[in-house]
Amino acid sequence: MSEENNPLKDSVKPQFGASGRKIVYDENGKPCRACNTLLDFRMVTNKKSTSSPSGSISAASGIAATAATAAGAAPNAKACPPDVEELGRSTWTLLHSIAATYPDNPTKNQQENLSQFMNSFSNLYPCFHCADDFREYIKKDKIKVTNRDEFGKWLCNAHNEVNVKLGKPKFDCNLWKERWKDGWKDGRCD
């Protein structure tokens, strides 16, 4: 069943979810699927959460998708829309990988293309309150597109700002290439 037809009345709108995070509602007063964890989304829509649907959690999703593909089923046929955590992980994976393959000496065109991508991304990110925060962030710390390392470190710092907001530890941005481009020096990624 879709949440489309089930906006909550103001009087019964929980402010915080079981995860401890603030519940995010959209402009129509409906809980936003891409802005909340699945746990909180379910809590606030009063749905049972007795089972973990395939695809609702990244780890489960990976396994389910692999199994489904192996069995010849339609890819992702019965996986679920991502919650805020799966969406976040997926997006950082793409963005840091873009940094990893961005040139050391980009042309003016390549620099403009990356600026354009990041700016349009900041208007489109599906978790709208995360997108608001990101647009605020790029106002005070302008996107750096001069070369791979500048962009990679800028992005790592932006990611750290989110880590801090979520109570997660910061990542050492001197190591961004090991994490996202070359793998670790101990050879675990080789």
Q: How far is the CB of 111 from its own copies (least distance, A)?
A: 11
Rounded to whole angstroms, how far apart are CA atoms 106 and 177? 17
Angle, vertex CA 28, rays to CA 117 and CA 128, nearest 5:
20
Q: Identify which of residues 1 and 12 has a Cβ nearer to its own copies in the complex.
A: 1
Residue 118 Cα distances to 67, 122, 140, 170, 180, angstroms: 34, 6, 15, 22, 18
Q: Identify which of residues 78 and 142 has a Cβ nearer to its own copies in the complex.
A: 78
Q: How far is the CB of 128 from its own copies (least distance, A)?
A: 7
Q: Identify which of residues 18 and 73 has a Cβ nearer to its own copies in the complex.
A: 73
Rounded to whole angstroms, how far apart are CA atoms 164 and 141? 16
Q: How far is the CB of 22 from its own copies (least distance, A)?
A: 19
